[in-house]
Amino acid sequence: MTREYTTTRDIVGPLLLVERVVDVTYGELVELEYPGGVRSLGNVLEVNGDVALVQAFAGTSGANPSETKVRFLGRALEIGVSRDMLGRVFDGLGRPRDGGPEIIPDERRTIYGEPINPTARDFPDDFIQTGVSAIDGLNPLVRGQKLPIFSGAGLPHNELAAQVARQAAVLARSAQADAVGEKLEGEFAVVFAAMGITFADADFFMTEFRNTAAIERAVLFLNLADDPAVERIATPRVALTAAEYLAYTCDMHVLVVLTDMTYYCEALREVSAARKEVPGRRGYPGYLYTDLATIYERAGRIKGAKGSITQVPILTMPDDDKTHPIPDLTGYITEGQIILDRSLNRSGVYPPIAVLPSLSRLKQKGIGAGKTREDHADLSNQLFGAYARGVQAKELAVILGEAALSDSDKAFVAFADAFEARFIQQGQHEDRSIERTLEIGWELMALLPRSELKRIKDAYVEKYLPREGDA
């Protein structure tokens, strides 16, 4: 049932207040036609008696109160989903952008999804080998996890995200899988959602995907910097609706890259400000946490389902400030964070992952015997501890001079340098196996006095620590 009105009263920012409407519901999809034929989609943010508040995805430039046509479509914002989405490029609302035909949908789904029942979730515990030592060795990603990259302007987060998307593989290492020769690796797909990034950044990803033929198993949703800002509010949801279809209907393991969440939040703030809502911190709406959660929590695994959704959202921290509301609230929802560091980047380390503040909350379940290797957890704890101490000793050396350090501190300084140069540092196209990552870790352990290896079980030290002369 379509109802068309020309009774717009107010236009404020991206919002229109439409009067004397009947049977309008909350969340309903709206089609707007401005004088001159410009069209935009929108949705109902609030309905009060016969007055509806509509947000226009394409903005309100060109709209006027008397001639703007507002059509209520009687349904929520939906996209058509199908396997044929793979290899295609869409705009931020799911319309083809690559000049190709409309896809023939298998079914239509509203973009808001439904929360996964916590009892239906399966705990993410399959290690994903990204081939990046600083991630695999210390902050491993597991299938069904949401692990954001906290970055800053000018840092190579796109390179890292592309590398992860290219190299990610799930290891079929469980004893059970080995026994029956079963491969855990299902079909793998990448869903890429761009919100407000530049064409150059989007083109980098498309080229990367094309060069490695990854484009065949990728779906791209692009809302670029010059596309309507409010549309960005729908983009991650459109992408996740596609991802859910691929994961739970087509049994694929989907890696969702969302970039840049900062622009998403700014679009949300723009709408909130136009509604004159009481702002929370830094002008962001008080419901930012809930809103972000409805995006991030769509990652996961479901019992009995073969597919899964793993999310790697990227956000640039304004002024590298981790306490800014966007990274802060994201960190509270996601299962850890990979933080990129400017000083590492300046000293030429790629990927410039600040391992100390980075964290993967699910790593305990994803590593160890049967997943990666028995010594993985202890070794990574020790690497963390030793690197932290090395960094501290270095700070001390800056004040007092190298000579003032004790012998053991000197060993830790040497360790920290070697750790950055050999463990963190690697090539953009270097795909390190987890064995190689752990091996490098043990080689570094050899730089420390044996008595300092307190966090590793003796048996592992015996078994894995390279003996003198070995190397």
Q: Which of residues 63-92 bind other proteins (CB under 8 A)?
A: 76
Residue 59 or 390 having the CB closest to other proteins: 390
- Distance separating alpha carbons of residues 439 and 100, to the nearest angstrom: 48
Q: 364-368: which pairs have CB atoms within 8 A and are 24 or more residues apart?
A: 365/123, 365/124, 365/125, 365/142, 366/124, 366/125, 366/126, 366/127, 366/128, 366/140, 366/141, 366/142, 367/127, 367/140
C-beta separation of 241 from 79 below 8 A = yes
Listed in sequence order, the residues at least 6 apart from 180 whose beta carbon sits closer than 8 Å to its beta carbon are none
Q: Give the integer Cα–Cα distance in Å for 88 and 220.
A: 6
Nearer to other proteins (CB atom), residue 35 or residue 357: 357
Helix (H, G, I), strand (E, B) or coil at 252: strand
> Does 2 help bind other proteins (rule: CB under 8 A)?
no
Stretch that binds other proteins, among 79-87, 228-236, 437-445, 448-456 (CB under 8 A): 448-456
**Residue 7 binding other proteins, by CB under 8 A:** no
The residue type found at 145 is: Q
Q: Which is nearer to other proteins, 11 or 388 (CB)?
A: 388
Touching other proteins, residues 22-61 (CB under 8 A): 23-28, 45-50
Closer by beta carbon to other proteins, 248 or else 464: 248
Q: How far is the CB of 138 from other proteins (least distance, A)?
A: 10
Closest Cα partner for 205 from 274, 150, 247, 260?
260
Binders of other proteins among residues 329 to 348 (CB under 8 A) are 329, 331-333, 335-337
Nearest to 141 by CA among 159, 158, 161: 161
Q: Which stretch binds other proteins (CB under 8 A): 150-158, 207-215, 293-301, 345-353?
A: 293-301
The interface with other proteins within residues 387-416 (CB under 8 A) comprises 388-389, 396, 399-400, 404, 406
Query: For residues 160 and 39, what is the distance between their CA atoms, to the nearest angstrom?
Result: 38
Restricting to residues 187-206, which ones interact with other proteins according to CB under 8 A? none
By CB under 8 A, name the one of 377, 411, 434, 438 that touches other proteins: 377
Our CB check for other proteins shows the closer of 34 and 460 to be 460
Rounded to an integer, what distance in angstroms lies between the CA atom of residue 206 and that of residue 201?
A: 9
- Which structure tokens are listed for 137? 């060795």
Among the listed ranges 200-208, 220-228, 286-294, 308-316, the one in contact with other proteins (CB under 8 A) is: 286-294
**Does 113 contact other proteins by CB under 8 A?**
yes
To other proteins, the closest distance from the beta carbon of 460 in angstroms equals 13
Does residue 362 bind other proteins (CB under 8 A)? yes
Residue 152 interacts with other proteins (CB under 8 A): yes or no: no
Write the interaction track for other proteins spanning residues 310-329; mark x where CB under 8 A is met and - where it is not: ------------xxxx--xx
Residues β-bridged to residue 254: 189, 309
Nearest distance from C-beta of residue 20 to other proteins, angstroms: 12
Is the Cβ of residue 38 or residue 116 nearer to other proteins in the bound state? 116
Interface positions, 114-133, toward other proteins (CB under 8 A): 114-124
Nearer to other proteins, 158 or 330 (CB): 330
Whole-number Å distance between alpha carbons of 246 and 127: 20
CA distance 244 to 242: 5
Judged by beta carbon, residue 103 or residue 295, the one nearer other proteins is 295
Q: Which helix (H) or strand (E) holds 10?
A: strand 8-12
Q: How is residue 261 written in tokens?
A: 């969440």
Is 112 an interacting residue with respect to other proteins (CB under 8 A)?
A: yes
Q: Binder to other proteins among 278, 319, 468, 470 (CB under 8 A)?
A: 278
